[in-house]
Amino acid sequence: MTKTGLLTAAALTALTFAPPANADLAAAQAILDAHREVPAFVPPGEPFDAASCMADKSVFTVPVTMTVPFVDALTAAMQRAAGEVGFDFEIWNNQGGMDAWTQGMAQAIAQDYDLVDLSAGLDPAILIPQIAEAKSDGMMVTTTHL
């Protein structure tokens, strides 16, 4: 690069990173400061008693795979929530794949869980016969993270 080219590149860099002369830096800083605050939590609805709602209920989750750290953390959090609320919660520990998912659904159906959750991106479209069987047995089937 020529000496003129280097000077032009340096000038463009300086212009790129310099604030415009009419910039209101105090106003920009006020916006940044306002968004550093953790917002107050506003519940999306009326409170309810989760323990009485889930009394004598059981949930079986079939995750897409347990080999992904996110899925492991997700199911661990679900397990903790179940313990806090007080309902039975079972995780189908699997390495992924159609065989594992159908076996998980069969296990949930055989043990008569109230709800089966297909979690962490497991597409319910690939388990249509198993979902139909679960529903015909009176079970609910949900999906999370899809």
Alpha-carbon gap, residue 146 to 134, rounded angstroms: 20
pTM: 0.71
d(CA 71, CA 76): 8
Sheet holding 58-63, edge to edge: 88-91, 58-63, 115-119, 140-143
The label of the residue with tokens 């016969």 reads: 129
- Residue 145 has a CB neighbour count (10 Å cut-off) of 14
Q: What is the pLDDT of residues 100-141, one digit of tens each?
A: 999 999 999 999 999 999 999 999 999 999 999 999 999 999
| Cβ neighbours, 10 Å, residue 48 | 8
Contact 62, 79 (CB under 8 A): no
pLDDT tens-digit map of 34-74: 899 888 999 999 999 999 999 999 999 999 999 999 999 99
Fold of 50-143: Rossmann fold (3.40.50)
CB atoms within 10 A of CB 101: 22
Q: Kindly calculate the radius of gyration of the chain based on its CA atoms and give it in whole angstroms.
A: 26
